[in-house]
Amino acid sequence: MLSFLCAFSQKSFKVKTYFANGKLKENGRQLGINKTGIWNYYSAKGSLERKERWLNGIMRWAILYNEKQQKIKIISSDGTEKLYKGCNCKN
């Protein structure tokens, strides 16, 4: 029962990291040491490169974007990948 109570007493907090140029590198939330919810990852120029969904420290899916902010690929937690067509990208 004690571990059950401890799990609920953990608070989530926002996490943001930055590149040396001051641009946002990543942002999301953590619950204890585990990532939770939506995490966004950016290039040094500031464009969104990847979005991930986390639950209990496990990544559920990730969406990769090209430099034009178009979806190029989605990766599921089981490792399956879906490529998006029509993005005119090399990936």
Query: Per the structure block, which two tokens stand in for 82?
Result: 């879906």
pLDDT confidence tier of residue 15, bands split at 50, 70 and 90? very high
Q: 64, 49 in Cβ contact below 8 A?
A: yes
**66 exposure class (CB count in 10 Å sphere: 0-12, 13-18, 19+):** middle
The domains of the chain are located at 12-83
pLDDT tens-digit series, residues 52-83? 999 989 999 999 999 998 999 999 999 999 99
pLDDT confidence tier of residue 86, bands split at 50, 70 and 90? low
The pTM for the full model equals 0.80
